[in-house]
Amino acid sequence: EAGVTQFPSHSVIEKGQTVTLRCDPISGHDNLYWYRRVMGKEIKFLLHFVKESKQDESGMPNNRFLAERTGGTYSTLKVQPAELEDSGVYFCASSQDTLAGVANTGELFFGEGSRLTVL
Amino acid sequence: QKEVEQNSGPLSVPEGAIASLNCTYSDRGSQSFFWYRQYSGKSPELIMFIYSNGDKEDGRFTAQLNKASQYVSLLIRDSQPSDSATYLCAVIYAGGTSYGKLTFGQGTILTVHP
């Protein structure tokens, strides 16, 4: 079974340009998450899709970031225009688990990340 | 103020020893706790989760949770060079709108030398 795949693995762009990152979750996983790790910092949550709907986008840094998941399959994360502080590794994760509460043991399956370098 | 703190290391242990990784969290509303392992350039992968006070064992791994002290740890027995990786502590807070919203620590780099 294929895991979570992300594309591109590495992107180098100049400040002000646009970049679109893509994530293909594990087939059948309704839940899709975007996380980001900037240099020297911890991995931070950006947003969560359930199918095509945004469940939680509280981690999105600003309106230069746009995430979509049309049709509830793959997702894209667009950064427009990119700034220097956007550099980092963007992780996508997916899961099947839909249970909330203390008994939540849902495992998130992460992709290898897309490294973004903004010059 | 960071919400999840880990000793950043690096932590170096000899092969066969016990590696002890520690994590503290600030929010008493935290409900589930996870340990992920990440090899360089690879995806984080879940190795343990725990949500009840006490110990949970899985093979060479033992997770320990103390909610009163807001502390969670991971012990790796009989450490192997293949255990060398970054270990990420993560928590889920109760009452959140997203059941997959993990809050991570910065990670502890573990090196097991032969």
In the predicted model, is pLDDT for residue B90 greater than 60? yes
Q: Identify the pLDDT of residue A106.
A: 61
Q: Is A111 helix (H, G, I), strand (E, B) or coil?
A: coil
Q: Residues B57-83: pLDDT tens digits?
A: 999 999 999 999 999 999 999 999 999
What's the confidence (pLDDT) of residue A72? 85
Query: Which residues of chain B neighbour A30 with C-beta distances below 8 Å?
Result: none
The reported pLDDT for the residue numbered B1 is 53
Q: Which of A99, A106, A110 sits opposite B44 (nearest CB)?
A: A110
Nearest CB among B43, B49, B103 relative to A105 is that of: B49
Question: What pLDDT sits at residue A40?
Answer: 83
Cβ separation A43–B88 shorter than 8 A: yes
pLDDT, residue A103, reads 43
Instruction: Give dist(CA A60, CA A64) in Å, integer.
Output: 9
**A56–B51 C-beta distance less than 8 A:** no
Could you tell me which chain B residue has the CA closest to the CA of A5? B43
Predicted pLDDT of residue A79:
97
Residues of B whose CB is below 8 A from A103: 51
End-to-end CA distance of chain A: 37
DSSP A14-63: -TT--EEEEEE--TT--EEEEEEE-TTS-EEEEEEEETTEEEE-TT--ST
Minimal Cβ distance to B100: which of A33, A58, A101? A33
pLDDT digits (tens, 9 = 90+) for A20-52: 999 999 998 888 999 999 988 999 999 999 999
pLDDT band for position B97 (cuts 50, 70, 90) = low
In the block, tokens 């990152």 appear at A21
Chain B positions touching A104 (Cβ under 8 A) are 31-32, 51, 92, 99
pLDDT above 90: percentage of residues in chain B: 75
Mean pLDDT of chain B: 91
* pLDDT tens for each residue of B7-29: 877 999 999 999 999 999 998 87
Residue B32 has pLDDT above 80, yes or no: yes
Contact B57, B49 (CB under 8 A): no
Please determine, for residue B93, whether its predicted confidence score (pLDDT) is greater than 80.
no
Give the tens place of pLDDT for each residue, A64-106.
999 999 888 999 999 999 999 999 999 999 988 665 543 456 6
The pLDDT value recorded for residue A63 is 94
Q: What is the CA radius of gyration of chain A?
A: 14
A55 touches A34 (CB < 8 A): no
CA nearest to A42 within chain B: B106
C-alpha Rg value of chain B to the nearest Å: 14
Between residues A72 and A113, which one has the greater pLDDT?
A: A113
Residues of A with CB under 8 A from a CB of B: 3-4, 31, 33, 35, 41-45, 48, 55-56, 58-59, 91, 93, 95, 97-113
